[in-house]
Amino acid sequence: MTGLLLLHLLFQAALGWEVRMPKDIHGLQGSCLVIPCSFSYTLYPPKNPRRVVWYQWVPEGYPLVYDPWNANEVIEKFRGTTDLYGNSSWDCSLLIRNLEQSHHGEKIYTWIDPENVGWRTYKFYDVTSTILVDARPQPPSINIYGGERPGETITVVCSAFHTCPYSKPNLILNGIEGSDQIDNEHIEGGLWKISLTRTGVAKAESSTTECSVTYYGGITVVTMKEKTAQASVLNEQDPAHSELKNVVVHILAPLLAVFLLTCIIAGFIIYKRRQQQPLIGAQESHTQLEERRSHWNTFSRRFIRSEGRAAWNNRGNRSDTRQNLVYFRESLNQFYY
C-alpha cells in the first residue's frame, strides 16, 4: 500500500500539478465556511489560471458547486451561497455562506481551468474535502492572568475557534476595563483562533468576567468566569512581612534561649538545696544529742561525788546538797528540752 502511494505521488509530481485542501473541515450551521485550497504546477500550465470551478464528488457526472460561468447550473443546496475566497492566482479557496445541515457530509473538489486542463493532466477529483456541519458552537474560553490583589495589573484573554475568516466572530468582554488587542491566528486545515486580550487593573476583591462571541449569522454563545482577588493583607510572600518575621525571630530566639537556660539553672539549684536539707537536719540532731550527753555526764559526776561525801561524812554541808539538786534539775531540763 505504501509503495502504491509513493508511486502515485511520484506520478503526480511528474505531471507537474498539485492541489492542496483539508480532507475534512467543520463548519457551524447557519454561519459561513471557508475551505482553504491552493494549487501549483510546473508543467502543462493552464490558459486561464483564475478559472476555478468546484464540483460535488459523485461516482458519475460533475454536479456544480461553484461556477460563475454557469451559475444557474449549480445544484440547489449550493446555489447563490458559494464564492471564491482569496486574491492570489494560486488560491482556489471556497466560501460557503449560510451553511445548512443539508451540507453535512458533502464531498467536494476543485478543478482549475477545466476547459483546458483535462483529467489526463491531473486527476482533480482525487483531492476532496468533506464538509462536517456542527449544530452548536463551542463556548469561548476565558483565561485570567494576574490581578491577585486590588490595584494589580490583570490580563483577561477571551478566545474562540472558527472556520470562517471571511467574517470573523465578534468578541465582547464585560467585567473589566482596559486596553484591547485582537488576534486572529490560523491554526491548521482551515481552523482559526480569534482572541481578545484586555489588560487593566483589578478593582475589586471579587469580580465576574463575561465573554460573548457572535458568529456570522447571529449565533451567540457566552462564557462567565469568577475571579477572587486576595485581600490587601500581609502574607508570607509580602517583603515587608518577611522582614518583620526575620526581626522577630532574631530578637525573640535569643531571649527564649536565655529564659530556658535560667529556668534549668534555677531548677538545679533548688534540687540541690532540697537534697542537702535532710543532711543538715541529721547533723543538727546529732549535735543536740551530744550536748545532752555532755550535760548528763557532768551531772552524773557531780551527783556521785556528792553522794560519796554524804556516805563517809555525815556531817556534810546541806547547802551543797541543795546546789547539786538545783543543778540536777537544770540538767534534766536541758536534756529533755
pLDDT at 5 over 70: no
Is there a single domain that holds both residue 128 and residue 6? yes
pLDDT value at 41 more than 90 = yes
* pLDDT score, position 255: 78
pLDDT for 19: 97
Residue 122 has pLDDT above 90, yes or no: yes
Query: Do 107 and 44 share a structural domain?
Result: yes
Do residue 100 and residue 147 come from a single domain?
no
Q: Is 199 in the same domain as 298?
A: no
Same domain membership, residue 124 and residue 15: yes
Residue 30 has pLDDT above 50, yes or no: yes
pLDDT at 229: 65
| pLDDT confidence of residue 48 | 93
Average pLDDT of the residues in 83-96: 92
* Residue 208 within a domain: yes
Percent of the chain with pLDDT over 90: 57
Q: Is residue 210 part of a domain?
A: yes
Q: Three-class SS of residue 64?
A: strand
Q: How many domains does the chain have?
A: 3
Residue 176 lies in a domain: yes
Question: Taking each helix axis from N to C terminus, what angle separates 318-336 and 239-312, rounded to the nearest 10 degrees?
Answer: 160
What confidence tier does 213 reach under pLDDT thresholds 50, 70, 90?
very high
118, 134, 150 — which closes off a domain? 134
Say if CB 211 and CB 158 are below 8 A apart: yes
Q: Are 56 and 106 part of one and the same domain?
A: yes
Residues 162, 266: one domain? no
Can you tell me the distance from the alpha carbon of 192 to that of 146, in angstroms, rounded to the nearest whole number?
A: 27
pLDDT per position as a tens digit, 136-192: 999 999 999 998 888 899 999 999 999 999 999 999 999 999 999 999 999 999 999
Domain harbouring 185, CATH code: 2.60.40.10
Q: Say which residue the cell 483546458 belongs to.
A: 116
Rounded average pLDDT over 188-199: 97
Let me know if residue 241 belongs to a domain: no
Do 116 and 145 lie in one domain? The reply is: no
pLDDT of residue 312: 33
The cell numbers describing 33, all together, are: 465556511
Q: Name the band, by pLDDT with cuts 50, 70 and 90, for residue 234.
A: very low
Same domain, 145 and 101: no
Give the start-end residues of each E strand in 147-270. Answer: 153-162, 170-174, 179-188, 191-201, 206-215, 219-228
Determine the average pLDDT of the residues in 184-211: 93
Pairwise CA distance, residues 36 & 68, whole Å: 19
Residue 239 included in any domain? no
Q: Residue 242 falls within a domain, yes or no?
A: no
Rounded CA-CA distance 28/26 in Å is: 7
**Is the pLDDT at 126 greater than 90, yes or no?**
yes
Confidence of residue 257 (pLDDT cuts 50, 70, 90): confident
126 and 7 in a common domain: yes
Asked if residue 104 has pLDDT above 50, the reply is yes
124 and 39: one domain?
A: yes
Give the pLDDT confidence score for residue 192 in this predicted structure: 98
C-beta atoms surrounding 53 within 10 Å: 21
Q: How much is the pTM?
A: 0.64
- Whether 123 shows a pLDDT value over 70: the answer reads yes
317 confidence band (pLDDT: 50, 70, 90): very low
What backbone torsions phi and psi does residue 329 show, to the nearest 5 degrees?
A: -65, -45
Domain boundary pick from 134, 155, 184: 134
pLDDT of residue 238: 47
Residue 37 lies in a domain: yes
The better pLDDT of the pair 244, 158 is held by 158
Q: Which of 228, 256, 287 marks a domain boundary? A: 228
The CA–CA distances, whole Å, from 98 to 30, 63, 72, 240 equal 5, 20, 19, 61
Contact 101, 76 (CB under 8 A): no
The Cα 117–Cα 84 span in angstroms is: 19
Range of the domain at 196: 141-228
Asked whether the predicted pLDDT for residue 4 surpasses 80, the reply is no
What average pLDDT does the structure give for the chain? 81
Alpha helix (H) residue ranges in the chain:
2-15, 239-312, 318-336
- Smallest CA-to-CA distance from 126 within 140, 143, 107 is with 107
Kindly state whether residues 165 and 125 are assigned to the same domain.
no
Q: Within a domain: residue 235?
A: no
| 307 pLDDT higher than 80 | no
Distance CA 54, CA 79 (A): 12
* Mean of pLDDT values over 109-135: 96
